[in-house]
Amino acid sequence: LAECIEHELRYIVEKSDLYLACYRNETIEFMKKSEFVIKWLLKALMQRLNVEDMESKQSLLMGSKRINLNYYPICPNPELTVGVGRHSDVSPLTFLLQDNIGGLFFRKMETDSWIHVPPVNGSIVINVGDALQIMSNGKYKSVEHRVAANGSNNRVSVPIFVNPRPDDIIGPLAEVLKNGEEAKYKQVLYSDCVKRFFRKGHDGKETIDFAKI
């Protein structure tokens, strides 16, 4: 049995390397072409916070980027498990391409009800993350979401996470507080937020709680 399992794992790894090589160029190209839209979205969001000089905030908002290729295999008993548990992304913004299978759910704010986000061909799903909630002093809310397991089809999603650099300090922006608004969040090292995010299970918005004053 051990030999059979080892053989299957080796086959999966070899196939994974082949698929990654095939899609590497397409993935990089998708990431490059998304940058214009991400910048446009962030500029619009910053203008609502009275940030006029977007260039001065660009490094803080998107100083680093990461792309994931998520694969959710068919689950014979989807009612017994989850694809991904409830969580909010730690990044300021997530730029998500999902396939036509579905399974993404957003938590309705202030309730425990969940809303399915049906896939629309050619569309992109935008998630506000914890870092943007902190920087906006709560004006923008990070969204809790989860992925349900599927009993009929494999599912693929491709999220791009735009992040501050690890050594950046994030907190409510000066432009947000300039009229005397009280800060709801402290100044925190972004890498500390990321560490807390990955040390815990997907179970809510602990990163926000960590940054609260």
Active site residues: 65, 87, 89, 145
Closest by CA to 150, choosing from 69, 70, 79, is 79
DSSP per residue, the chain: -HHHHHHHHHHHHHHHHHHHHHHHHHHHHHHHHHHHHHHHHHHHHHHTTT---HHHHHHHHHSEEEE--EEE---S-GGG--SEEEE--SSSEEEEEE-SS--EEEEPTTSS-EEE----TT--EEEE-HHHHHHTTTSS----EEE---SS--EEEEEEEEE--TT-EE-S-HHHHTTSPPPSB--EEHHHHHHHHHHS-S-B-HHHHHHB-
